[in-house]
A and B are shown apart, each in its own frame.
Chain A
Amino acid sequence: MTSISEDSDKEKMRSVSVDLNNDASLVIDIPDALCERDKVKFTVHTKTTLSSFQKPEFSVPRQHEDFIWLHDTIVETEEYAGFIIPPAPPKPDFEGPREKMHKLGEGESSMTKEEYAKMKQELEAEYLAVFKKTVQVHEVFLQRLSSHPMFRKDRNFQIFLEYDQDLSVRRKNAKEMFGGFFKNMVKSADEVLISGVKEVDEFFEQEKNFLLDYSIKIKDATAKAEKMTRSHKIADDYNHISGALNNTAADNNTAFKKHLEKCAEVFEKLRKVEDRMASDQELKLTELLRYYTRDIQAAKDLLYRRARALADYENSNKALDKARLKGKDVAQAEENQKQCLQKFDKLSESGKKELTSFKARRVVAFRKNLIEMTELEIKHAKNSVSLLQGSIEILKSN
C-alpha cells in the first residue's frame, strides 16, 4: 500500500499539465491515492464556482476504470466529434518495480544487509515515482477536460466528479473488448479507404500530413527515449560498486581502507545524483513524449472523424444525385446531404480551432519541459561537480 499526499514535489511532477488550471471556476486535482494490489484508488478533489454543482468543494474516490469509462463516453458522444478528446490515462503499470521487488526478494541471501536495504530503498523510490506519475496522468486527464469549454459541461464528467459513491462502472466484458478491437480494425481499414477522398481544405490537408509524419516520429522518439532512460542503470552500478568497496574496506585496516571508504562514499552520493538525473529525464522528457504520442493520436482521431464526415458527405451527395436521377426519395436524400454537410462543416470549424490550439499547447509544453529538464540536468551535474571536487580534495589531502 502506498499513499501519497500533495506536496511540493508534486508541482514539479506535473510535467505535462500546462496552464490547465488557470480557470478558477472549476479546479480539479488528485491530492491522494491509494494503491491496493492492482487497483489504484484516486481521490478526486474538486473546487468549483459553477452552479451546476451542488457543492463548491468535494472529493470522491475513483478508480482507473472510472477514468476509462469517462473517456469512452466522451468519445462516443457525437457532438464532441469535432474536438480533440484528451487521451485516456494509461493503465497503472507497477509491473516494473514489482518484478524488481520480486527479484530483490530472491536475491536477498546473496547480498549484504546494507546492500539489500539500499536496493529496497531504491525500489521503493522507483515505485513511488511510478505511482506519482500514474496519479499525475490521471489528474492531467481531468484537468484537460475541466479546462475545455465543452467538456467541462459534460453531464458524465460532472457525475464523475460529483457522485460520492463508487461509480462501479461495469468492466468491459470479453465481447465488448473484442468489439473494441474490431472497431479499431474497421477504423484503420476505413482510414485507408477514406484516405483516397480528396481533401477540400488545405489546412486539413497539411495538418493531416504533419500529424501522420509527426506521430511516427514521436512514437519512435518515445521508444528511443524510453530505451535510453531504461538503460540509465549507472546509478545501480554505482550502488553495487559502493557496496563492494565498502566490503573490501571492511576487511582492511591499512591506509587503503580510508581510500576505499571515501571512494565508496563518493559513489554512494553519486548514485543519488545519478538516480535523480535519470528519473528527472524520464519525467521531463520521456513522459512528455509519451503524452504527446497519445495526444497526437487523439488529434489524428479528430482528423479521422472529420474525414469520415467528409466521406459521408460525398456519399450523400452521390446518393442525392442518384435520387434525383431516379426521382425517388429526393427529399430524404437532400435532407441527408444537408445534414452531412452541416456535420462536416461543424467538424471542420471546431477541428480547425482545436488543432490550432493543440499546436500552441504542444509548443508550450515542450518549451516548459525542455527548460525544466535542462535546468535539472544542470543542477544535478553541478551537484556532482561539487561533490567530486570536494572528494578529490579530501583524497588528495590525506
Chain B
Amino acid sequence: MRLSALLALASKVTLPPNYRYGMSRPGSLSDKRKNPPGTRRRRVAVEPISDEDWHLFCGDRVEVLEGKDAGKQGKVVQVIRQRNWVVLEGLNTHYRYIGKTKDYRGTMIPSEAPLLHHQVKLVDPVDRKPTEVEWRFTEAGERVRVSTRSGRIIPKPEFPRADGIVPETWTDGPKDTSVEDALERTYVPRLKTLEEEVMEAMGIQETRRHKKVYWY
C-alpha cells in the first residue's frame, strides 16, 4: 500500500453514529478525553442547511445579534458546519485557566464560545451595518453573496491557510515543478495506444504475436 494511503488510513477517524460535534476537533486528545469510546449522548437538533445556502465563511466580518457581546462586530475564525456554529475572534468569551499544574493555578485566558448562524449577521461593507444576504449570480455567471438592503456584493474573504503557506510568496524547492512547466501542453493526440507510442519512442521492435486463445 502506498505510504500516503497508509498514513491517511491511520489518521482517519471513525465516529459513532450519534456523535456530538464540539469545539474540539474529532480525533484530538481533548475530544478523546471528553468522548471516550462507548460514549452515547443525546442527539442535538441541528437545522439542516445545504452547502449552497450556507453564507458564513472564515474571515467574514459579522455582527453579533444575541448574547453577551450583542451589537459588536468581529471576524469569523472557525466554522463548524455540523452544528451550524460560527466562532468569532475575541467575542462571546468566557474565561478559563490553561497550563494548570499541581502547584500552579495556571494562566487565565479568554476562550470564545460558538454562536449559531442565526445569532450573527454579515456586515454590509457600504454602511457597516448588519444585513440579510442572498446568493445571486453575476453577469459573468459567478455565484456571489449580495446584501439585500444595498445590493452590494460581499466577496468571499481571504483566510490564511492552516499550514501557513502563502501561495503568492512560494519559492520553488528542488522537487517542485515551476508554474510554466506544469501548465505547458505537450500532448499530441494520436491514434496509438500508450504502449505503442512508448515502443516507437524507445525503438523497441516486437514481431512476435500472442497465440490465439479462446474462452467461453
Specify whether A and B are partners: no
List A residues at the B interface (Cβ < 8 Å).
none
B-side residues, CB < 8 A to A, are none
